[in-house]
């Protein structure tokens, strides 16, 4: 029996879940947590909720995703006991790890931001779905027009029908289409088949609502045609010792260490960002780009606030980094390679490890002082991370 077959769920309407493939549970975290995370997202991105022009500055990533992962308010939501109760019911075990996922800030479309929304699966649609659950926490009241979560209700039941009547080859997107990318924004044969007679629906919600969906549900987020940005945090849990990356990954001890490292190194990108005078959300893609192309070290991101480093230190920094080559350190290279196996946290880990190396270099060379306290974890949070075992 898989967890999906269990019929005893007290948190939500089982019939609705079976029929539509998602369910909304209200008030899963205290309202104060929501505001703390909203403030943290604005600070991370360097945007101002009251200045719409700032919403369209960098970082503005595909899907309106924001790559923050270890901020204290994110952990405060992840370790909210109510959320753990819900996933305990779903999985039939309390021994869970939380997915080290990210947040979303989707501003209204305009001439700079054309996000039309997307629908996709985070699984291989030619393979039978695993009993996996994904979740999104609404940080603000979100109307249908705001580009929040959208899905094709019932598509989770149609997908196995497609699989029963087609071969995997028939699911291959035509060459030249973007159907094989994870967003599946353009034509994809399985998506088209599954959607016949069904409709995409935007799911509105109140601040503090938690929407859980079945991994087999065609889902994504929408086009924001309102006047306020959509803000949300992705939260999911899977059994201890696993991560979610298209399918369930059993990572054992290396995965546990990677997760702990990610949490421990979580404060360092902000330290580097402050040293350079840019928001953390701008330093993140720059550090990420060094992993692929170290030549990017010669172009520092433009300061947006007063850097902690002096002008002379900033001038010296590229040559210093080019000589030290922290991106070539074995643990960083390893984290980059193994990233996909660890789900989203793996790709973050390489950046976090790199930022620690850079911060340590700034300390050794320029005497930069800092404290790097990882997010505070409750007893539950320690288990949900893997710092302590269940």
Binding site for ligand AKG (CB under 6 A): 104, 122, 134, 136, 149, 219-221, 232, 234
Residue at shortest CB range from ligand AKG: 221
CB 19, min distance to ligand AKG, A: 20
For ligand AKG, give the closer residue by CB, 6 or 228. Answer: 228
CA dihedral 232→233→234→237, nearest 10 degrees, is -140
DSSP code, position 97: E
DSSP code, position 171: G
For 258-277, give the DSSP string: HHHHHHHTTTHHHHHHHHHT
CB 65, min distance to ligand AKG, A: 8
For ligand AKG, give the closer residue by CB, 70 or 134. Answer: 134
For ligand AKG, give the closer residue by CB, 58 or 122. Answer: 122
For ligand AKG, give the closer residue by CB, 67 or 221. Answer: 221
For ligand AKG, give the closer residue by CB, 139 or 271. Answer: 139
**Alpha-carbon distance 381 to 14, whole Å?**
28
CB 219, min distance to ligand AKG, A: 5
Instruction: For residue 212, list its beta bridge partners.
Output: 23, 135
Instruction: For residue 106, list its beta bridge partners.
Output: 230
CB 166, min distance to ligand AKG, A: 24
For ligand AKG, give the closer residue by CB, 62 or 295. Answer: 62
Q: Do residues 297 and 318 touch, judged by C-beta distance below 8 A?
A: yes
- Cβ atoms within 10 Å of 5's Cβ, excluding its own: 8
Quick one: which of 365, 283, 285 has its CA closest to 324? 365
Q: Is the peptide bond before 59 cis (omega within 30 degrees of 0)?
A: yes
Q: Do residues 179 and 189 touch, judged by C-beta distance below 8 A?
A: yes
CB 212, min distance to ligand AKG, A: 12
Quick one: which of 32, 39, 182 has its CA closest to 105? 39
CB 335, min distance to ligand AKG, A: 22
C-alpha distance from residue 117 to each of 206, 312, 328, 344 (Å): 20, 44, 37, 21
CB 382, min distance to ligand AKG, A: 25
CB 124, min distance to ligand AKG, A: 14
For ligand AKG, give the closer residue by CB, 108 or 277. Answer: 108
For ligand AKG, give the closer residue by CB, 278 or 344. Answer: 344
What is the CA angle 141-144-145, rounded to 5?
A: 100
């Amino acid at each position: 029996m898989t967890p999906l077959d269990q019929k005893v769920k007290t948190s939500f309407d089982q019939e609705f879940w079976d029929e539509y493939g998602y369910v909304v549970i209200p008030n899963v975290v205290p309202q104060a947590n929501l505001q703390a995370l909203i403030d943290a997202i604005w600070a991370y991105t360097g945007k101002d909720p009251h200045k719409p022009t700032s919403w369209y500055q960098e970082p503005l990533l595909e899907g309106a995703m924001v790559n923050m992962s270890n901020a204290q308010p994110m952990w405060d939501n992840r370790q909210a006991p109510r959320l753990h109760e819900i996933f305990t019911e779903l999985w039939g075990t309390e021994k869970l790890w939380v997915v080290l996922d990210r947040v979303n800030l989707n501003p209204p479309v305009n001439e700079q931001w054309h996000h039309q929304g997307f629908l996709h699966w985070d699984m291989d649609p030619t393979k039978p779905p695993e009993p996996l659950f994904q979740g999104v926490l609404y940080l603000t009241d979100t109307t249908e027009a705001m580009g929040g979560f959208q899905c094709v209700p019932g598509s989770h039941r149609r997908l196995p029908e497609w699989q029963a009547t087609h071969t995997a080859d028939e699911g291959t997107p035509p060459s030249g289409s973007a159907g094989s990318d994870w967003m599946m924004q353009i034509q994809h044969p399985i998506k088209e088949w599954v959607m016949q007679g069904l409709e995409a629906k935007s799911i509105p919600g109140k601040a503090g609502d938690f929407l859980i969906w079945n991994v087999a549900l065609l889902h994504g987020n929408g086009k924001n045609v309102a006047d306020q940005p959509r803000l949300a945090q992705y939260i999911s849990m899977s059994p201890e010792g696993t991560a979610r990356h298209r399918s369930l990954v059993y990572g054992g001890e290396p995965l546990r260490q990677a997760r702990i490292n990610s949490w421990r190194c979580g404060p360092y990108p902000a330290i580097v960002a402050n040293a350079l005078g840019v928001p953390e959300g701008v330093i993140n893609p720059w550090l990420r780009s060094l992993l692929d192309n170290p030549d990017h070290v010669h172009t520092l991101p433009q300061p947006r606030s007063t850097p902690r480093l002096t002008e002379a230190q900033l001038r010296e920094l590229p040559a210093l980094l080019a000589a030290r080559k922290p991106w070539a350190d074995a643990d960083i290279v390893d984290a980059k390679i193994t990233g996909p196996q660890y789900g989203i946290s793996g790709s973050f880990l390489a950046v976090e490890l790199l930022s620690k190396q850079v911060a340590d270099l700034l300390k050794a060379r320029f005497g930069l002082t800092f404290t790097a306290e990882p997010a505070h974890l409750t007893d539950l949070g320690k288990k949900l991370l893997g710092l302590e075992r269940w």
